[in-house]
Amino acid sequence: MAEDPVQFDDPCDHILYRLLEMDPITGSSDPTTLIDWWQTHRLHTESFTQFLIRQNLLTPTAEALLKIAHKGHFQLESLAELFPNQLAGEFYRRLQTIQTQSTSIGALQKPNSVRQVRQRLPIPREGLTWGDFLLLNSIGSGGSSLVFRALRLVNKELLALKILKPRLLEKDPLWYDHFLTEGLIFREIRHPNLLQILDFGDVDGLPYLAIECIEGVSLQELLRHSGQIAWPKTVRIGRCILEALRELDRHGYVHRDVKPNNVLIARDGTVKLADFGLARPKGLVEKLPEVADKPRWVGTASHVAPENTRGTIHVDARADMYSFGVTLYQMITGHLPFDHDSPREVIRLHQEAVVVPPVQLSVDCPKALSDLIVRLLAKDPNDRFADYDALSHAWAELEDGID
């Protein structure tokens, strides 16, 4: 393999260049043309990776893969199986704009497609033998995926199978890499309070994630059945959610969709935080497309932090703390802190309304727990906890004080 065309200061730059060089599409067009463009147009000491992010050529997910590779969690060859298709797709989708900005990029040829996908894909259904799996029954459906309880035929392992909805892949082949990146990253993160991704792959071109199967209920189902949860159980479940978020934070990620529906409670009482599809590396700032007079956010309107409802998304652990606070509020009071039929009005309430302390709605809620929840729901992220160490310390004092 040839030497890098320049001496990179950022290790991610070196990994990125090697991946470009290995990509049969981008590599064949000589990635040094991108290096030339970067050196001509970068801002001050902007790294190659930072430059491509600013030019919208790298997605946050692609950047996350670089960071994971830099930590040594994956071999370059393993990353190359997923990374180049996503990266090439971003390059070619924006190539027209780039070429009007600079002639240094070189003459790249747009391929017919980044990944060949059949026009119509079979829809997974209950009772179907699908690849190496028998799909037993449907246990959920989200915006992008179908979830089945399934049996792995080779060893009779019971698991949950999260499968990308075929219509999304038919519309945009880049969904393939976007979907499997969740498995690539979070399979390596193991913790008793995080739902474990076991492996990932595809059947007939349709990607899936194989996930540990929890026999139990979601926190949302528990709340629907019981109305509210007694404070000792709220504190115990809350500690488990906190430990899950703290572990994600240690690995450099923010969940971005903490809510009762993504908290699973097994029959033995084990608590697991699930669904990492929206998770992103800490420190990123995303700008959502403008829609006239409408709030813009990522996640769930009822649980989103107010600072992330105006179109600029700050990937910050304190936003997860806010969503955690909303979840605790639901548990101890049986109600959302801000509720309305209109998501737009819910967002306005998150931004402007004063929260009613839980102690005023639940007579058995300890004041210390109520005060902690109110702090988590502060409008200004600087008024929440600075980090998970500070929150964990406050939680330990809460547990000691109300035992």
Give all domains of the chain, ordered by start, each with its CATH number. Answer: 11-101 (no CATH), 129-212 (3.30.200.20), 216-402 (1.10.510.10)
The percent of residues in the chain predicted with pLDDT above 90, rounded, is 42
Candidate from 7-16, 43-52, 93-102, 150-159 with smallest mean pLDDT = 93-102
Tokens of 278: 């929206």
More confident residue, 127 or 331: 331
Active site residue 364: no
Pick the residue with more confidence: 97 or 158? 158
361 pLDDT more than 60: yes
Q: In 3D, which of 34, 156, 141 has the Cα closest to residue 95?
A: 34
pLDDT in tens, 142-181: 778 999 999 999 999 999 999 999 888 888 777 887 788 7
The Cα-based distances of 191 to 69, 76, 87, 258, 274 in angstroms read 21, 25, 30, 17, 12
Whole-Å CA distances, 25 to 51, 62, 164, 344: 21, 17, 25, 43
Active-site residue (options: 257, 275, 316, 320): 257
Dist. CA 59–CA 343, nearest whole Å:
27
Note whether 346 and 304 are within 8 A (CB).
Answer: no
* Res. 57 pLDDT band, cuts 50 70 90: low
* Residue 9 pLDDT: 72
Dist CA 21 CA 149 (whole Å): 40
CB atoms within 10 A of CB 151: 19
Question: Per-residue pLDDT for 382 more than 80?
Answer: yes
- Residue with the bigger pLDDT between 235 and 109: it is 235
Q: What is the pLDDT of residues 274-302, one digit of tens each?
A: 999 888 888 776 666 655 455 555 778 89
Per-residue confidence (pLDDT) for residue 75, from 0 to 100: 52
Of 123, 70, 62, the C-alpha closest to 89 is 62
